[in-house]
């Protein structure tokens, strides 16, 4: 089943949110090696979403979309 652009964009926004400094480091409580592993995993997920969407979505573009499409 093919997902809609909106579904994929919501997932992309979620990944960008989870990659923020405070969230990825748990407010600085995680070690650098754990942070790097989390970042790599999130980047891989983000790349898969961009492939699914067939579009390179920057963080700015994602948040612009989110602001325009809040429900």
Q: How many Å apart are CA 54 and CA 39, to the nearest integer?
A: 22
If you search the block for the tokens 């499409």, which residue do you land on?
A: 69
Q: 31 vs 1, which has greater pLDDT? A: 31
Tell me the average pLDDT across 47-60.
96
- So what's the pLDDT on residue 28? 84
- Locate tokens 């573009």: which residue? 61
pLDDT tens by residue, 5-41: 999 999 999 999 999 988 999 888 899 999 999 999 9
Number of domains in the chain: 1
Range of the domain at 52: 5-68
Report the C-alpha gap between 26 and 41 in whole angstroms.
16
- Check: pTM over 0.95? Answer yes or no: no
**What span, in angstroms and rounded, lies between the C-alpha atoms of 71 and 67?**
10
């Amino acid at each position: 089943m093919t997902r809609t652009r909106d579904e994929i964009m919501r997932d992309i926004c979620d990944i960008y949110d989870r990659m923020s400094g405070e969230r990825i480091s748990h407010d600085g409580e995680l070690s650098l090696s754990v942070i790097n592993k989390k970042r790599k995993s999130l980047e891989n997920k983000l790349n898969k979403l961009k492939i699914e969407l067939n579009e390179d979505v920057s963080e700015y573009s994602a948040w612009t979309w989110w602001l325009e499409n809040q429900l």
